[in-house]
Amino acid sequence: MSTFLQLIVQGIALGSIYALIALGFTVVLLAGVVNFAQGSFMLLGAYVVSWLAVDMQVPFLLAVAGGILVTVLLGVAFEQLFLRRMAARPVFTLIMITLGLDTILRVITSAIWGYDPRRNGDPFTLSTGFNVGEVHLNWGDITIVIVTFILLGLFFAFFKYTKYGVAMRAAALDREAAAAVGISLSQVYILTWTVAGVLATIGGVFLASVPRSLDTTLGFTALRAFPAVILGGLGSPVGAVVGGVIMGVVEVLVAGYNQQYFPWLGSGFNQVSTYVVLIIVLLVRPYGLFGKKEVERV
């Protein structure tokens, strides 16, 4: 039982990171772009933070701010230079373009910093923390969960109550109608990529924090978080967060019990378990947990 609770705690910590990644993806999706470069944004953000904090001896929080600045500028520039020209194109064409960006960022990152694992420069350590009953809570995981919680709170407050949040939702619902009532789509997209950049860097830093380390495979983890996006229902920010937490817990539980109860599924099954869960859930609810069913008019 204590193992189970311990795994749940770890799962929620990992799930918080997935929630950040999934939310970043969903926000961009609301602007009509399937962003396969999200993983590389995370990778780049985390490397910039690591470079500032470890090599340049910048205080960690400042380093994070620096990483966020880089990913935000890059995301906005990408939107302005490429995506803006592609607004009415089929989604698959956009997918190819974000994939191209993904490749370029990944190659450049590994060309600058090499392939060896790096330290993240974060102040967390594994050993510190405290016990509740038999469950060990370490400060790193607690920080991740709390920061995620605050970020999500800020995002949803912004999304729901501010003028710009309403503009983002309106543009997601119907781009042309939003433009017709005077919403600046340009501002909405800049805002969208800003949010995505912030979430990518913070998600990347968390993913690279103790006990994990930072290397060039970090970007692929974003693909493991994609089922979270769908599980909640495409285009639903709440769904992305709930899906993220569920998928984190599932992955850690499967990793914990894989060898003990179902070794025949092969080691490393936890890495694909989220997709198995996704398919099972979608078979019951084809539009995810919070997705809207499409009404087709003839």
Q: Which of 30, 43, 68, 207 binds other proteins (CB under 8 A)?
A: 30
Residue 43 CB coordination number (10 Å): 31
Question: Counting contacts by CB under 8 A, is residue 48 touching other proteins?
Answer: no
Q: Which of 1, 57, 88, 161 binds other proteins (CB under 8 A)?
A: 88
Amino acid at 176: E
Question: Counting contacts by CB under 8 A, is residue 238 touching other proteins?
Answer: no
**One-letter-per-residue 3-state SS of 172-212:** HHCHHHHHHCCCCHHHHHHHHHHHHHHHHHHHHHHHCCCCC
Three-state SS at 214 = strand
The CA-atom distances, in angstroms, between 105 and each of 7, 36, 42, 140 are 34, 12, 10, 28
- Minimum distance from residue 144 beta carbon to other proteins (Å): 25
Under 8 Å between Cβ of 198 and 19: no
Question: Counting contacts by CB under 8 A, is residue 298 touching other proteins?
Answer: yes
CA distance 146 to 57: 25
Residue 11 CB coordination number (10 Å): 23
Ramachandran angles phi, psi of 126, nearest 5°: -70, -35
- Minimum distance from residue 263 beta carbon to other proteins (Å): 11
Whose structure tokens read 């995370």? 42
Q: Which two tokens stand for residue 7?
A: 């795994």
- Minimum distance from residue 165 beta carbon to other proteins (Å): 15
Question: Counting contacts by CB under 8 A, is residue 29 touching other proteins?
Answer: yes
Q: Name which of 64 and 214 has its Cβ closer to other proteins.
A: 214
Q: Which of 14, 22, 64, 97 binds other proteins (CB under 8 A)?
A: 97
Question: Counting contacts by CB under 8 A, is residue 63 touching other proteins?
Answer: no
Question: Counting contacts by CB under 8 A, is residue 74 touching other proteins?
Answer: no
Q: Name which of 33 and 152 has its Cβ closer to other proteins.
A: 33
Q: Which of 57, 92, 127, 133 binds other proteins (CB under 8 A)?
A: 92
| Alpha helices (H) along the chain | 2-30, 38-50, 60-81, 91-113, 139-161, 163-173, 175-180, 185-207, 218-232, 237-261, 270-284
Q: Which of 5, 56, 62, 86 binds other proteins (CB under 8 A)?
A: 86
Under 8 Å between Cβ of 19 and 148: yes
Question: Counting contacts by CB under 8 A, is residue 139 touching other proteins?
Answer: no
- Furthest-apart CA pair in the chain: how many Å? 62
- Minimum distance from residue 161 beta carbon to other proteins (Å): 21
Q: Which of 6, 80, 110, 258 binds other proteins (CB under 8 A)?
A: 110
Q: Where does this chain touch other proteins (CB under 8 A) — which range of 56-64, 84-92, 118-126, 150-158?
A: 84-92
Q: Name which of 155 and 226 has its Cβ closer to other proteins.
A: 226
Q: Name which of 104 and 150 has its Cβ closer to other proteins.
A: 104
Residues lying near other proteins in the complex (CB under 8 A): 29-30, 32, 34, 82, 85-93, 95-97, 99-101, 103-104, 107-108, 110-114, 172-176, 223, 226-227, 229-230, 234-235, 265-266, 268-269, 271-272, 275-276, 278-279, 282-283, 286-288, 291-292, 294, 296, 298
